[in-house]
Structures are given as structure tokens and as C-alpha cells.
Structure 1
Amino acid sequence: MAARAEPRVAGCRSAGRSSKGRTMNSLPILKAREVHKQFADSPVLRGVHFELQAGQVHAVLGSNGAGKSVLMRIFSGILAPDRGQILLDGKVHTFADAGAARRAGIAMVHQELSLISSMTVAENIFLTRWNDGWTRFVDEAAMMRAASALLSRYDIELYPWQTVGSLTRGQQQLLEIAKALSGKVRVLILDEPSANLTAAEVRLLYRTVKRLAAQGMAIIYITHRLRDVFEVCDQLSILRDGRIAHTLPVAATSAQAVLTLMTAQLPSASWPAVNVPADDTAPLLQLRQSGRQQAALSVRAGEIVGLSGSGASAMLEAIFGLQALHGYTLALSGQEVHVRHPSEAIAHGLHLLPGDRRRAGLVLGLSVSENILLSLFDRLSTALLIDDARGQQIVTGLLRRLGLKTEDPGQQVRQLSGGHQQKVLMARALSTDGRILLLDEPGSGMDVQAQSVLWQIVRNYAAQGNAVLIASSDYAMLAALCDTCHLLADDGIGPPLAAAAGQQALLGALHGTPCQP
């Protein structure tokens, strides 16, 4: 049931696009009815009801793990619901795959771009889909004309012959939208479309979204930025714990009211204070922006620091040596270092728990023991043999320390629940005796009880004199667990925000509210 909206914040301009003057069909173009989805023993969607009208831009908000991505993948045919129905124009549809959803008129633009930089705009739009029907040769002139007509139809200001490598990030985002619109699309799903865009590129995106909606396109707009909601959206829904907690018109609410709804019923901080060393102690980890003396981010022994915003996960990967660290220098225990590979990061006492543990963290076909010891095989190996007895002693100790319940450490890690899989990754990190833990969206795909156990493990780790840096969009977790938080925006890492100020204050700062009271 939608919650009653609070009055608008005084002095705030009228937000969102008014639906007055536009004809809304009484029948939703897209509807989810009692949709459920579960992975292993973790329910993700718990009876979702959702409606989208033609010509409407509908924002979907919620912290990480609320179920946004799973719901959108069901709409776009990538996943099938366990129970419930998806309706188009009032008729139940079952999509075998994403291609079936596209043929039905639903397209999704993912946050990760899928463009080939050496090819032209037209070639990217029609990649793998261009066919003149008779020859194996591509009629490039016809392709250019078709691309030009498509771009003109939706007022997307790109030229078909431009190479993608010459485009800005914002133009590439518009090209991804054009690719999605190259079929007969009636429902467009945009996943964090303003992420990593400059202010000018965001304005270009807003203009395009408004034009598409004015032409009757139904748009679902996934975002962590309230600015986006109040600039281009008509309706908003807040997902919490796999359910739609609130749905309301954007024009009838305010940024403050939305923040209140998003933080309602979230757990408050209940962790004991950690004895943080004096300010003259060298931070275990420090990032300094190029050309600036003052550190942009510091994590001292005993501290848990949060990082949120576009590029937060990429920043952790760069610190760990998975990609280049652009614009910043890294110092560990007061010494500047250049980490070019994860093995060097581990040698410096760093360890990363990736956001997608099944793809980037675990080897699902290996056992619990083998996954835990992946970072230790060099230390356990002699010229010809691996010291299995020593390895099993380490595994047993870590399993007991983390409360990981498995009768057989030889069990394949794919058979464990999401919470236990995350504990396996944590055990691997602790096995290296490193002092700095990097956590990327650590609560993803875990139920509340499993998250609570993991947070206690992280807090204990910090209390032993170690440092933790967390990249996450789960604002409740950041407010409850972290000592300070930073927002990563277009101009770099923002100043520290005291998590003790409360969830709503932190959420407001991280979201960047569109107006002031």
C-alpha cells in the first residue's frame, strides 16, 4: 500500500514532469502481479505489485539488495519469476529469454555499456541484426539511412558515421538508448543512466528521456540519485526487502519526504564504539587526489569507512590492482605504493571481496577449503608438494572463527547459501593476515540475518586494529556500520560525512537532494 506523502519542502520548486494534459490509459502497459523470485535459500522478490503507464517515467528506488535488478531482469526476459505474472496491455506474458521480451516491446539499457569503440554509431546500433535479406554483404548506405531515421525520430543528436571512440560518455549512453529503440519498443528500462556522466551530459540525458515519454514511451528509471527523480520522473516506487513499500506521484512529494520513506523501519546503529588511534597515527590506507596536499580519503586502524556513488566499486578495484587508479595516489601505512596486480595488493596486506562473488570471487566448482586457500597456495607449497595438513588446519580455524556451518570443507562452494559463500570469501581474506579489507557491496544477495552476522565479523575485524573500506549503495548498512562515509561524484571523492549523524542525513547527502528546505 502506498504511503501518504509528506508536504513538500518549503521553498522547493515544483518537481518532476506534470502529467496534466497527457492522456493516461486506464490499463497499464506493463504490470507485475504478485511476483516472487528466490535464489538458493534467499528470497529476493516477495510478491511485487508494479504498474507502468504509457508516456510515464516511473522511478524505482531502493538500496542494494532490495530487488530492483532482479525485477528488471524479469521484465526484460533475462529471468523468469518463480511465482506471479507479468502482464502487457492486460494480457499475461511469459518470456523465454530477452529476445522474446524485445519482440514483445520491452528493452533494457544496462549500466555497463556494450559498444565497440572502433565501429560507427550506425554499426553499433544494428550490430548482429542488419540483414538485407538476399546477400551476405551489408548495404552500408542503407544502414546509415536507417540509423539517421532512428536518431531523428527520437531527437537523439548523434551522427551515424561517427566512431564510438570519438563520443563522450554521455553520447555513448544515448547511443545505448538508440540501440534499444531500434526495435519496436514500447517499454524502456534504464538502469542508472546518469552514472558516470558530467553535468552537461546529464542534462542531455534528461532532455532525451522527456522527449521519449512525450512520444508515448513508457520508461522505468532505476537510479540512486534523487536529482534524476525530481527532474524527469512522474511516479516513484520504493523497493524494500523484495516488496514495493511505497508508490506515489513525484509532483505530490518532496526530497525530504522520499528520504523519510526510504529510511523508515531500517535498523539503527547498534555497534559498540571502536577505539580509533590518535590523529597523528599514519592511516593504514590513504588516497590523495593528484595535485592536492590534503588526503581525499583516509582509513586508520580500527576504522570502517564507507564510499558510495558512481564509480565506488571501480575505485576499490583500482586500489586492489584490477584496473588503473586514475587521478589518485595510494599510500599504505604512510608510504606511497603503486599496485599493478592483485598479487601485489595481497602482498601489501590488502584483500578485496568483490561485489559479484559468484563470478569474480569464488570458483564454484572448487571446494570450500580450496576457495579459502586460493591466496595461500604459494605459501603452502614446497618444490613438489602442497602442505595439505597445514592448509586444513588453517581452514578449520577460520570456519570456526566465522561460524561457517558446513559438515564437509570438501563440499563444493556452489552448494552453499549466499551468506555462507560470503563467509568463504571473508575466510580467504582473513587467511592472508592482511590489515586492510575492501568490501564491494558486501550484503548483496543475503538475507537480513546473514547480513547481521557478516557485519559483526567486519566490526570485530576492525576492532582488532585493522581497516575496512566499503563501497556500497546500501545506505542503511553504511549508516549503521561505518564511522565515516564519502560520496564519490564527478569531481572526485567528497569530504567525510559522520555516519553518526543518522541514516536520513547520510542518505540525503549521498543522494544529493535536488533542493534545499
Structure 2
Amino acid sequence: MFVATPDRPAPTGGGRPPVPPGPACLLQVRGVSKSFPGVVALDNVQFRLRPGSVHALLGENGAGKSTLMKIIAGVYAPDQGQILLRGQPVTLASPRAALSHGIAMIHQELNLMPYMTVAENIWICREPLGRLGLVDHGALRQRTQALFDRLAIDIDPEAEVRSLTVANRQMVEIAKAVSFDSDVLIMDEPTSALTDKEVNHLFRIIGQLRAQGKGIVYITHKMSELFEIADEFSVFRDGKYIGTHASCDVTRDDIIQMMVGREITQLFPKEEVPIGAVVLSVRDLAVKGVFRDVSFDLRAGEFLGLAGLVGSGRSNVAEALFGVVPATSGEIRIDGQPVRIDSPAKAMRHGLAFLTEDRKESGCFLILDLLANLETAVLRSRFVKYDFVQQAPLRRDCQQMLRTLQVKAPGLHETIQNLSGGNQQKVLIGRWLLTEPKILILDEPTRGIDVGAKAEIHRLVTRLAAQGVAVLLISSEMPEVLGMCDRILVMHEGRMTGIVERKDATQVRIMELASR
């Protein structure tokens, strides 16, 4: 439990604990509030950032972290309050205004333009021009390559962004933010799509920036990252400022209790449930040029993990099983019967559900409301009678799903793009749970999800397994894979390298197989 001392004040539920003394602040926020229709996102909050430091910002989804950072980055205007930069009040009316004051932000949802090159994305509106006022593409490439050399990033500046992996797109976003040479750099979940190797690379970049006197605001749900790179942290809960402490003064449990206002006794609530008959059988599955010779059985009630580094082919296997990119060879059997799955619609008819890893690109319908996003997978199934949609039971079940997953939203008619990234993820999980699947494929199900919501989602999926649902779980978070799965299938560069039983699974063993 958190113990208060004279230099370590006890966290409170909504007050304003004093900010610890220290060097002059690079950035300060005083009494900022922000409301949206039906939601108070920030309520009289404070924050400060010292030069040459990393300040982690923590809280559950919907706590107000991203909203505050978007205010600092000029995306939103505060309803009240003051922002000071180097001790002077500033008005940040737009992202361009924030950049002019030396504030850059890497957003949780990637904002790159897929049909433009990497170099064009990084230097858009800042391109080097030739004598005739046209873009000098040679100089553009050289400038980008020099930036990548400085950051040790191995990406072709002339590659189109749409051809990059999610992890490489994240590195491009990071390079773009660094290219502004800003004094304040805000990173919103920058490691959500990165492997351990890439995370270490990012931490080296952050170390360089800190040594140059830059201030880094780091939003994360990963406790290990906080203790590895953050000098101090602030916690927000339900739009209120809870407290600020040096990261060396607290434990992981202290922070979690501050975030959620309660103790979480078990993050990975793995329960022993009866493992039934084989539901899904895969033999020699392949997509030409992507992966090959993947074989496994998945049983009712079982959690089968699919592990591997980014680019190993694990997500491609999931897409082939769901018919997004149909397999070019191999066999799929469901309940012992051979099936050909060449479309998601056919996969759903066979009882499969698939949560994709990229909620923005292939998950959410951002301009539609929560009801539309939830109902899209079930409109042709149990809620249709005599060719008419049964609106009352549909709305009832969708509303119940929001309550079950504790989605923070005013109601079913709220536009999903107005929700935090974590709450968007919960809605997508709810969409597939409404289909009552027999085989549930989850690709990065807790990416961008806070610790409290992770535990709730893990408990929910564990209950489904106890009811006989077979779960294929893909995750970059090793503790999640080790904590939840009965067996773990490991891949490397498009091929299987082994299947490890739960009793034999360790992080070292999995990484050995993932890097063969």
C-alpha cells in the first residue's frame, strides 16, 4: 500500500496535492478544464514538465490524459485554465501554433498519409524547394536519410507509408516529431506497436533528447516502461488530477491503486477450465510469400497463444483463418469438417470472430456512433426476423455490452471517434462478443488499454473460455501471453518454430523460438 511521508504526500481522490519542488518548469498547466457533450473530460487539472526529464502520464482510459495533451498540442482549446511555457502564459490555438512554440506530439492513432512516401510525410509543408519553387526530391531524401541516420532508423525514405508495418509507421511518426526539434515532445502510447528491440531503440532516442534538455511527456499503460525511463509521473482519474511523484518513490501496486482507486489483485485471471474437443484444426496453412506450413489444433475452452516478433506472420495467420487474405494452400477443419474460408462473411457463418490489431484502419467506423459500430457484425444474424431488424433487443444487448466492458461514453449515439483509444478498443471487442462466437481470434486485444480494463477484459474472455469458446490470442506483451495461454505457438519469419506448453513456457524460451 502507498505510505505517506513528509516528502511523499498521500494520493487523494480528487484534490490538488502540492507539486514537488524542483528545477524551473519548462511547461506548466494550471486549473485546466474541458467538457464535451455529456462528458467532463478534465476538471481543474494541473501538470508540469521539467527540462531534461521524462514525465509519465498515467490513468485509465477516459481519465483525461490524451485530452490534456491535445490541449497542450493545440488540437483542443481549454474551457478554462492557463498554460505557461518557460514561465510565460501562451495561447495554443492550433497544432501549428503549438509547433511554433516548440511543442510536438506523437498521437496514439497514427496520422500518416498512406499514399505518400516516408520523406513526404515527415517534411510535409516543410519540403526543400528548388529554384522554380518545386519540391527538390533529392534534397528531401537526403534530409530524411540524415534524420534516420541520427536516430538509427532503417527505413527507406522513398517507401510509401502504406507498405510499412504498423511498427515502422510508428517509428516514422517518432522521427517526424523529432524533426521539428521541439523543446516539448509528447508521446501518446508510442510503444503500442513496437517489439522489445524497437522499444529499446526508442528509449535510446529518448535518452538523447533528454540529454539535450528536451522535456518528454510520456503516456503509457505499461508499468515496466515507467520504471525504466520516467523520472516522475502524474496520475489522472475520471478527469481529475490525483498526484505527482518521483518514479523511484513508489511501487507498481501503488501506481495502479492511484489510477483505478482500488486494488487489482489479479491482472491475468487464468482459470483452469475443462478443455473440450478440437474445434479448429489447421494443417500446412500458407499464404504465398507471407507464411507457410502452419499446423495446429485449437480446442473448446482453450487459450492458444500466437507469439513472435513483428513481421513473423502471426497476424497474417489470423487474417487467413478469417478470410481477409484467403490461404493459398493448406486445410482448415471446423468441428472435423473441411471448410474453405475465402471471406470474412463465410468465416462468421462458421462461428469465427476476429478482432484486428489496428482499430483505426480496419476496426472502427470512426464517423459512426457506437450503436452502428457494435451492430455491424450481427445485423444479419439473431437480431433479424422476417427480414426486419429487431431494434429493441439489439439496443438492449448493445447497451448491456457497453456496461459489461465499462465503456466510458454518454450513450449509444456518441460518435466513436470522440472516445479514447482504449474505449474504442472495448467497443470493438464488444462487437465480436455480440456474435456469440465459437472461435474468438484476438489480435492485440489490450493494446492501448489501461490496467483496470485489461483485467476486466481478461476476466470476460476467461468466462467465455469456461463456456466452451476457443480463443486464439495474439499479443506483443509477453506477460499477457504467458499469463493467459494454455499453449503458445511461436513463429519466426513466416514459419512455425514450435509450440510450447504452459508449464514449460518462459519468456526466454519464447524469445529463443521467436528469433531462430
Kindly indicate whether the alpha-carbon contact (under 8 Å) linking 2:308 and 2:490 is maintained by their aligned counterparts in 1. Answer: yes
**Distance in structure 2 (CA, Å) of the matches to 1:83 and 1:253:** 32
Partner of 2:406: none
The whole-number CA distance in structure 2 between the counterparts of 1:78 and 1:259 is: 29
Change (3 A) 1:107 1:403: closer
Name the structure 1 match of 2:94: 97
2:300 aligns with: 300
Q: Are positions 1:204 and 2:201 aligned together? A: yes
How many Å apart are 1:348 and its aligned residue? 1.8
Q: Does the CA-based 8 Å contact 1:164-1:172 persist in structure 2? A: no
CA offset at residue 50 of structure 1?
A: 1.8
Q: Secondary structure at the match of 2:347?
A: helix
Structure 1: runs of 5 or more not aligned: 6-23, 381-386, 406-411, 499-507, 513-517
Query: Structure 1 residues 490 and 54 mapped into 2: Cα distance closer, same or farther (>3 Å)?
Result: farther
Per-residue CA distance 1:9-31 (angstroms, 9 max, x = gap): xxxxxxxxxxxxxxx97432222
Alpha-carbon distance between aligned partners in 2 of 1:306 and 1:161, rounded to the nearest angstrom = 32
Query: SS of the residue aligned with 2:67?
Result: helix
The Cα shift of 1:40 comes to 4.1
Cα deviation 1:90-109 (Å, max 9, x = unaligned)? 34434333222222211112
Check if 1:31 corresponds to 2:34: no
Deviation at residue 199 of structure 1 after TM alignment: 4.5
Q: Deviations over 1:295-321 (max 9, x none)?
A: 6xx5734x7899999989968973645
1:247 is paired with a residue whose SS is strand
Cα deviations across residues 26-49 of structure 1 (Å, max 9, x unaligned)?
A: 432222333344444344444432
The reply on whether 1:156 has 2:151 as its aligned counterpart is yes
Matched, 1:435 2:453: no
| 1:370-385 correspondence to structure 2 within 5 Å | 372=375, 375-377=378-380
Change in CA separation of 1:391 and 1:105 when aligned onto 2, cut-off 3 Å: same
Summarize the alignment of residues 118-517 of structure 1 with structure 2, pairs less than 5 Å apart: 119=117, 121=119, 123-130=120-127, 132=129, 135-140=132-137, 142-143=139-140, 146-147=143-144, 155-157=150-152, 163-164=158-159, 174-253=171-250, 265-266=262-263, 276-277=273-274, 279-283=275-279, 300-301=300-301, 318=319, 320-322=322-324, 332-333=334-335, 339-352=341-354, 360-361=363-364, 372=375, 375-377=378-380, 390-392=387-389, 394-400=390-396, 414=413, 434-436=437-439, 465-466=468-469
1:233 and 1:145 mapped to 2: Cα distance?
Answer: 33
| Alignment partner of 1:51 is 2:53 | no
Q: Residues 310 and 488 of structure 1 are in contact (CA less than 8 Å); yes or no, is this contact kept in structure 2?
A: no
> Structure 2: how far apart are the matches of 1:370 and 1:257?
36
The equivalent position to 1:114 in structure 2, one of 112, 115, 123, is 112
Letter of the structure 1 residue corresponding to residue 413 of structure 2: R
Q: Secondary structure in 1 aligned to 2:70?
A: helix
Counterparts of 2:314 and 2:31, CA distance in 1: 33
Cα distance in 2 for partners of 1:48, 1:472 equals 34
Q: Which has the higher contact order (CA 8 A, sep 6+)?
A: 1
**2:186–2:216 CA contact under 8 A, matched in 1:** yes
Report how far residue 496 of structure 1 moved: 8.7
Q: CA deviation at 1:221?
A: 2.2
Structure-2 change in CA distance of 1:249 and 1:356 (3 Å): same
How far apart are 1:214 and its partner, in Å?
0.8
Count of matched residue positions in the alignment of Structure 1 and Structure 2? 457
Conserved 8 A contact 1:35-1:48: yes
1:259 to 1:335, Cα distance in 2 relative to 1, 3 A: farther
- Check if 1:73 corresponds to 2:70: yes
Q: Contact 2:44–2:81 (CA<8 Å) still a contact in 1?
A: yes
Q: Measure how far apart 1:208 and its partner are.
A: 1.8
- The answer to whether the 8 A contact 1:353-1:361 is kept is no
> CA contact under 8 A between 1:197 and 1:490: conserved in structure 2?
no
Contact 1:369 1:395 in 2 (8 A): no
Shift of 1:395: 3.4
Secondary structure of 2:151's aligned partner:
coil
- Residues of 1 paired with 2:293 and 2:222: CA distance? 29
1:306–1:83 distance in 2 versus 1, CA, 3 Å = farther
DSSP-derived class of the 1:414 partner:
coil
Deviation (angstroms), 1:187: 0.7
State the secondary structure of the residue aligned to 1:59.
Answer: strand
CA–CA distance in 1 between the matches of 2:72 and 2:385?
A: 48
- Residue 75 to residue 191, structure 1, CA distance change in 2 (3 Å): same
Q: CA deviation at 1:234?
A: 1.8
- Please give the alpha-carbon distance, in whole angstroms, between the structure 1 residues aligned to 2:88 and 2:439: 53
CA spacing shift, 1:436–1:64, aligned 2, 3 Å: farther
Task: Please give the alpha-carbon distance, in whole angstroms, between the structure 2 residues aligned to 1:81 and 1:472.
Answer: 36
Deviations, residues 151-194 of structure 1 (Å, cap 9, x unaligned): 67xx4246998544799987765543332233351111223334
SS in 2 for 1:188: strand
Gaps of 5+ in 2: 6-20, 286-290, 402-410, 512-516
**Superposition deviation, residue 218 in structure 1:** 0.9
Per-residue deviation at 1:235? 1.9
Deviation at 1:76, TM superposition (A): 1.9
Residue by residue over 1:172-229, the C-alpha shift from the partner in whole angstroms, topping out at 9 and shown as x without a partner, is 6554333223335111122333444454443332222111111111111233444433
User: How far does residue 119 in structure 1 lie from its aligned partner after superposition?
Assistant: 4.0
Cα offset, 1:437, TM superposition: 5.0
* AA at the equivalent of 2:350: H
Over the aligned positions, Cα root-mean-square deviation in angstroms equals: 6.1
Would the alpha carbon gap of residues 35 and 497 (structure 1) be closer, same or farther in structure 2, given more than 3 Å must change? farther
Aligned counterparts of 2:324 and 2:460: Cα–Cα separation in 1: 25
CA distance in 2 between partners of 1:110 and 1:140 (Å) = 27
State the distance in 1 between where 2:200 and 2:169 align: 14
Deviations 1:391-440 (A, max 9, x none): 24x433444556669xxxxxx96358989999998897577564345678
For the 8 Å contact 2:308–2:491, the answer to whether it is kept is no
Q: Could you report, residue by residue, the CA deviation over 1:303-352 in whole angstroms, capped at 9, with x for unpaired residues?
A: 789999998996897364556899x9987546686755321221221235
Q: Give distance in 2, aligned partners of 1:72 and 1:316.
A: 36
The code of the aligned residue for 1:202 comes to V
User: In 1, distance between residues paired with 2:101 and 2:473?
Assistant: 40
Structure 1 Cα separation of the partners of residues 399 and 465 of structure 2: 18
Asked if 2 retains the 8 angstrom alpha-carbon contact of 1:60 and 1:237, the reply is: yes
Please give the per-residue CA displacement for 1:210-264, whole angstroms capped at 9, x wherever unaligned.
1111111111123344443344332233444444444322344556765676676
Q: Amino acid of the residue matched to residue 247 of structure 2?
A: V
The 1:26–1:486 alpha-carbon spacing in structure 2 relative to 1, beyond 3 Å, is farther
In structure 2, the partner of 1:16 is none
Distance 1:489 1:202 in 2: 20
